Amino acid sequence: MVITSINPATLEKNGEVQETPLEALAGIFKAARDAQRLWREIPTAKRARIVVAANESLADRMEELCLLISRETGKPPLEALSSEVYGAMDSTFYYYNIAEKVLDHKEDIDLGFYNSLDKTSFLIYKPVGVVSIIGPYNYPFAIPFSQIVQSIMAGNAVVFKPSSDVVLVGKEIQAVFDAIPSLPRGLVQTVYGSGSVIGDAMVGAGNRVIFTGSTETGKAIMRKASETLTPVCLELGGKSEMIVLPDANLHRAALAARWGCFTNSGQVCSSVKRLYLHESIAGPFVAELVELTRQLKQGNPLEGNVDVGAMINEFQMNKVLKAIEGAKSEGAEVLCGGRRNPSFKGYFVEPTILGNCTNGMGCVQREIFGPVLPVITFKSEDEAIEMANDNQFGLTSSIWTEDHEKGVRLGKRLETGTVMVNEVVYTFALAQTPWGGPKHSGIGRTHGKLGFMEVVDPFHVHVDKYKEPDGWWMPYDASFVELMENFKIIAKSLIVRD
């Protein structure tokens, strides 16, 4: 069976790859385990130095890679550069710089009373083994690439499956790691196939799963992982809110809302997907935003300067068009866009702003993974926070105000993994900061130091330098009774009194 890659902007065929037979998976995971046993013995600094060589081949192939990403996803090549290839290189370089410090960190543990008995403990980190990485279609390069880099720098092997919409980008990722001299064969392997067959089989086959995709699939993966108690890191859906207070820099906020909602045709987990405006500024703000949105140039991203490209496939496009119809039937007013762009053959949805929305509507509550922005007004800060938190997702949020302290204070009340004051979306590109959020947005964190922690196990080492038998060992004779009397005295000293 082959998987065919289609350009969603032109509907032309990009190419194809051979599906990985399910029967091959056991051998692939065995090869990964074998490679990992050798790899984990290499010191961290040396491993990181080997892996950062990926940036050399990326630097040589940057432009062709961006064109391929554009052809396979429908996004503008410059967006592929800014948010995918540049981001991957930047994070690889950053992880190279911090790998040894984070992964070889040894923490001596103060054992309190037991220190007096010459007992010592320390904590280190060990690679987990083989990491199954299952990727989404929307950032097919940057997301899995940096997850692979962190996993292998930490001493693991990786089996990676790209989404079937972006198999050629998956193949390029494999090529980048294949080109690294000194990387053991089998350490990074890419498999191709459907989520329900190949993806499902990957879940229990390794020692950890890093999954990025929809909440629905994340739940299926967690159910499956429970059979083998395989730990999961789940980066799932979002419904990121942008709250604009009256004292914000309103022009900058309107430009941010436009970029935050329509970049990558709205197919970003942390896209601005709910816009909350204070009632005193809502009228002029919406007027400016609609005007700005009408100025966006949509089209085939490979033909001239285009702001908004195509959506990934017909199924996703139809889901978004259905959600717009649903919003209309609930009383939302289409202020701009609202339909498939009739000028093109491909899967283009016009950038859409929905007015007259209230917090309970489906278009405000559910993730619409496309260029659609519902607008809601609020009367007070408390009301804005309450409405924002009244949602199943919790990935990112933003508060817009010139009073930065107030922004932080209010922001801390939001139930998300990240709050940005006067910014949207882009912290995903920061390798230094953690990524992920609570509620239905997932479990665990990728990126930064916490991202490394997802692919290692804490390992506790205890060394006893005491020469005598421990007092609590058998037999339970008179000296044991005496020791327990001492324990009673010590126990009474463990009470906290004000």
Nearer to ligand NAD, 137 or 348 (CB): 137
What residues are labeled active site? 235, 269
318: β partners = none
Nearer to ligand NAD, 212 or 293 (CB): 212
Amino acid (1-letter code) at residue 360: G
Residues 373, 446: Cα–Cα separation, whole Å: 27
At a CB cut-off of 8 Å and minimum separation 6, what does 463 contact?
119, 120, 121
At a CB cut-off of 8 Å and minimum separation 6, what does 91 contact?
142, 145, 146, 149, 431, 447
Structure-token pair, residue 296: 């966006």
Instruction: Report the relative pairing of strands 418-421 and 396-400 from DSSP bridges.
Output: parallel
Nearer to ligand NAD, 135 or 448 (CB): 135
Q: Which stretch binds ligand NAD (CB under 6 A): 14-22, 216-224, 351-359, 404-412?
A: 216-224
Asked whether position 84 contacts ligand NAD by CB under 6 A, the answer is no
At a CB cut-off of 8 Å and minimum separation 6, what does 131 contact?
147, 151, 156, 157, 158, 159, 206, 207, 208, 209, 210, 455
Q: Which of 72, 200, 307, 350 binds ligand NAD (CB under 6 A)?
A: 200
CA 256 to chain centre: 21
Instruction: Report the relative pairing of strands 157-161 and 188-190 from DSSP bridges.
Output: parallel
- Residue 424 C-beta: closest distance to ligand NAD, Å: 15
Asked whether position 371 contacts ligand NAD by CB under 6 A, the answer is no
At a CB cut-off of 8 Å and minimum separation 6, what does 54 contact?
92, 149, 176, 177, 180
Asked whether position 221 contacts ligand NAD by CB under 6 A, the answer is yes
Q: Which of 84, 172, 241, 367 binds ligand NAD (CB under 6 A)?
A: 367
Nearer to ligand NAD, 144 or 184 (CB): 144
Nearer to ligand NAD, 163 or 377 (CB): 163
Q: Which stretch binds ligand NAD (CB under 6 A): 16-24, 196-204, 303-311, 475-483?
A: 196-204
Nearer to ligand NAD, 5 or 44 (CB): 5
With CA atoms as reference, report the closest residue to 158 among 202, 194, 122, 196: 202
Q: Which of 76, 87, 127, 135 binds ligand NAD (CB under 6 A)?
A: 135
Asked whether position 140 contacts ligand NAD by CB under 6 A, the answer is no
Instruction: Report the relative pairing of strands 456-464 and 13-18 from DSSP bridges.
Output: unpaired
Using CB under 6 A as the binding rule, the residues of this chain from 149 to 188 that contact ligand NAD are: 161, 163-164
User: Under rule CB under 6 A, how many of the chain's residues touch ligand NAD?
Assistant: 31
Q: Which stretch binds ligand NAD (CB under 6 A): 14-22, 183-191, 233-241, 401-409?
A: 233-241
Nearer to ligand NAD, 44 or 265 (CB): 265
Asked whether position 131 contacts ligand NAD by CB under 6 A, the answer is no
Q: Which stretch binds ligand NAD (CB under 6 A): 79-87, 120-128, 136-144, 249-257?
A: 136-144
Asked whether position 370 contacts ligand NAD by CB under 6 A, the answer is no
With CA atoms as reference, report the closest residue to 379 among 390, 387, 369, 371: 387
Q: Which helix (H) or strand (E) holds 277?
A: strand 274-278
Residues 82, 86: Cα–Cα separation, whole Å: 6
Asked whether position 69 contacts ligand NAD by CB under 6 A, the answer is no
- Residues in the site for ligand NAD, rule: CB under 6 A? 134-139, 143, 161, 163-164, 195-196, 199-200, 212-214, 217, 220-221, 235-238, 269, 367, 369, 395, 435, 441-442
